[in-house]
Structure 1
Amino acid sequence: MIQRIQSIYLFIAAIVAGVLPFWAGLWTNAKTNANVYSIDLFLENTLLQKCVPILFFISALVAIVTIFLFKNRQLQFVLNRLNILINLFLLGLLIYLSQTLSGEASVSEKGIGMFFPIVVILLLVLANKAIKKDEDLVKSVDRLR
């Protein structure tokens, strides 16, 4: 069922992971004073920087796929945990990249996009709690039969 609360959490997580990183800046370049967006990282030389937009896209895709697996709550729960791991890796990668930006003599400003993996993780944890609650409700009804 699409109207369940975990579907709303997953939909918001897909929006935060799939749309917002391409509109909100990840950090501001100290040299040029320009915002660096997720899509701009495709043009960089290193593989780590190219992985950031790919991981955002994979996270959004897994969240959308998980919405439509409402009949299989266990698989939904496992995919949410996988998505949490993807976002933890993405968060670590963003922290690493922000600490080792090339040519940074002065501290650059971090943008709101650096916090998107944290928001997605929070939404996925809330969705997992709701899925667990549904699973417990189904098990309790099965006991009564």
Structure 2
Amino acid sequence: MIQRIQTVYLIVVALLSGVLPFFVNLWSDAKGQEIYASNEILVSILFYIIGALALWTIFLFKKRKNQFVLNRLNMILNLFLLGLFVYRSLNLSGETTVSEKGIGMLIPVFSIVFLTLANRAIKKDEDLVKSVDRLR
């Protein structure tokens, strides 16, 4: 059933992680040059993996338990990416000239929120199926 609410949440995560970081700056360096995800290879690969995993999870609608586990894995990847951003921002703040953190550094936070909402909806569907099986 692709027309479920968790599909919408997972599509939002795929768009947030697969498209948005390449158009929104992550941070600006000391020279004022904006850094995007395409400038950093590790960040770019992590964003692509997160987006692809979210898309792959959509098509596992018959295996709700696997969907739940893959969403948890996706949350862990987002936390790793967020930790990488925090590490990078702490290094940026120690410069002699002022550098700016971009709005793109919040993308993993929004992705985690939408993945949590998707997991709630998956759990709700799983509970519904279990309750119907008990009636048989």
What pairs with 1:27-46 in structure 2 (closer than 5 Å)?
27-31=27-31, 33-41=32-40
Q: Secondary structure at the match of 1:100?
A: helix
1:103 deviates by 8.3
Are residue 71 (structure 1) and residue 70 (structure 2) matched?
no
| Structure 2 residue 106 is matched with structure 1 residue 107 | no
Structure 2 CA distance, aligned partners of 1:17 and 1:81? 16
For 1:62, the equivalent position in structure 2 comes to 53
Equivalent residue letter for 1:37: Y
Q: List runs of 5+ in structure 1 lacking aligned partners.
A: 42-49
Structure 2 alignment gaps of length 5 or more: none
Q: Normalising by the residue count of structure 1, what TM-score does the alignment of the two structures yield?
A: 0.90
RMSD: 1.4
**Does residue 19 of the first structure (1) align with residue 8 of the second (2)?**
no
Once the two structures are aligned, what percentage of the paired residues are identical? 61
**Where do 1:87-126 residues align within 5 Å?**
87-101=78-92, 104-126=95-117
TM-fit CA distance, 1:69: 0.3
Q: Per-residue deviation at 1:81?
A: 0.1
Deviation digits for residues 100-138 of structure 1, max 9, x if unmatched? 149822231111100000000000000000000000000
Aligned to 1:130: 121
Task: Give yes or no for contact 2:29–2:92 (8 Å, CA) kept in 1.
Answer: no
For the residue of structure 2 that corresponds to 1:3, the secondary structure is coil
Structure 1 segments of 4 or more deviating over 3 A? none
